[in-house]
Structure 1
């Protein structure tokens, strides 16, 4: 009987783990996804021409709908002259104060001549996005890179913007509640000084007194040869210090690995954590020529308050 009971418990544990992985179908080609639910519909925004958008009526079966931008806002070229036509990176979509806010970035690969922009709408389904203009930019004279934005709401309901890629690492700055643009100084929250600066894509969620910072490290965008991994740390303050499970400060290269990929899914990253219980990211499918695809999991938490899935 004890052996049988042990087997039942093992199988139950496996079922829970397998259930946490969402079985997705349809068009799931994405890079750097951000997800939002509105009514019974789900939307995923991702890197691509004009910001690519997928829609699902159940969260698992996806189809492509029209992109956000059909033409470039006038300020794009002035901010990033070398940016390719309608090439938009790593959008982040969230609802705050009765509106939907869509942050995004424009840049060129390997350069920190970059900019973060903002669009807004009353609802995703209705569309009619309004260009809110430039939010933040970086030039070659800065030691940071203004891409990979994420809107973060702190425990008091105040908005912040996390961002950053390579250079001196990940940053966060408080936003004005009305303009949703920066006010105050930029704080550093994570860096990899001994690893070529390879950290980007911050995503922060608040849970039970802690802010949890998720990030992507190492190299993306190389198909099955990508070495992207997702890491995390936590802090009692939104501006840090963030430490991993071993107590290592993420400003000193810390970060506990959440997902380093597997035989099929290579280089997982570009993650977005939603409501503290769902995590989306892309990974490169080794069974399909290394094409990047959408992955979604329930985000679970252990007895000590650390994330897992």
Structure 2
């Protein structure tokens, strides 16, 4: 199985690809000089810094959603680029998907493209503030229409939604706590599930994730601190980052098998 992804490493959207999850090669960068329209929605943006890209294939095309923001701000935008395939690398600018301002009580970052059981595309997104959101997207434009649903919220911070469908349930994985502070980070991965993609998402104790629920999958350990920013490949591989306490808190990519118990809950 080939693994690949795009992420913030250098200006623009840079990525790596691997055939075995161990040896990685650089992919061609996307928008390494930034796009002029980003500053229309995020005036304080530096013009090149891109967050949380999300890459998936849908209807025979590769779609890459990404975030433009500044740390701790709700003045944010989610943009979209697409290509005939990742290998072709013919990325085009598909423009703005959704943006937020200080007048919004949610934040347009951390996009996650979700394909429902019936094949319809949805977009999950959100960070801190009032939490994680979900909206339908048009399968032709891959941009939102209709209602925005609330899925999860926590007073101690929540972001980075990932939704997968498995055996009758949609599973929502989120990162809770504080990211990006090296070995002082409190990031951890929590989850809940729902029979309806729109929720409610309940954890193993039956607590709604809108009421600070969420069973903990990964809280890290003495070596790997602050795991989060997770994504799920199919339903059996989990990818996330954590800070390596044995290497001066250097952030590193972790890839693990995701297992499921007899009651349908995820575990390592």
State TM-score, norm by structure 2.
Answer: 0.97
TM superposition shift of 1:74: 2.2
Counterpart check, 1:252 vs 2:202: no
Structure with the higher helix share, 1 or 2: 1
Partners in 1 of 2:18 and 2:129 — Cα distance? 36
SS in 1 for 2:210: helix
Write out aligned runs for 1:163-182 (5 A). Answer: 163-182=125-144
Q: How does 1:102-251 map to 2 (within 5 A)?
A: 102-192=64-154, 195-196=155-156, 198-251=157-210
Runs of 5+ unmatched residues, structure 1: 1-39
Query: Which residue in the other structure is 2:32 paired with?
Result: 70
Does the 8 Å CA contact 2:38/2:47 hold for their aligned counterparts? no
Once the 2 structures are TM-superposed, how far is the Cα of residue 225 of structure 1 from its aligned partner? Answer: 0.8
Match of 1:30 in 2: none
Question: Which consecutive segments of 4 or more residues in structure 1 shift more than 6 A?
Answer: none
Partners of 2:24 and 2:150 in 1: CA distance: 36
CA-to-aligned-CA distance 1:88-144 (integer Å, 9 cap, x gap): 000100000000000000100010000000000011111011110000000000000
Q: Tell me which residue corresponds to 2:58.
A: 96
Shift of 1:60: 2.0
Higher deviation after alignment, 47-56 or 80-89:
47-56
- Corresponding residue for 2:5? 44
Partner residue of 1:17?
Answer: none
Equivalent position SS for 2:180: coil
Q: Deviation at 1:287?
A: 1.5
Aligned to 1:285: 244
Deviation at 1:274, TM superposition (A): 1.4
Question: Are the equivalent residues in 1 in contact too, given 2:134–2:198 (CA < 8 A)?
Answer: yes
Deviation at 1:223, TM superposition (A): 0.5
Say which one has the larger Rg.
Answer: 1
Q: CA deviation at 1:46?
A: 1.4
Which protein, 1 or 2, shows the higher relative CO under an 8 Å CA cutoff with sep ≥ 6?
1
Partner of 2:228: 269
Does the 8 A contact of 2:36 with 2:47 survive in 1?
no
For 2:151 and 2:265, locate their aligned partners in 1 and report how far apart those are by CA, in whole Å: 18
CA RMSD of aligned residues (A): 1.0
Q: How far off is 1:42 after superposition?
A: 2.7
- Size of the aligned set, in residue pairs, is 267
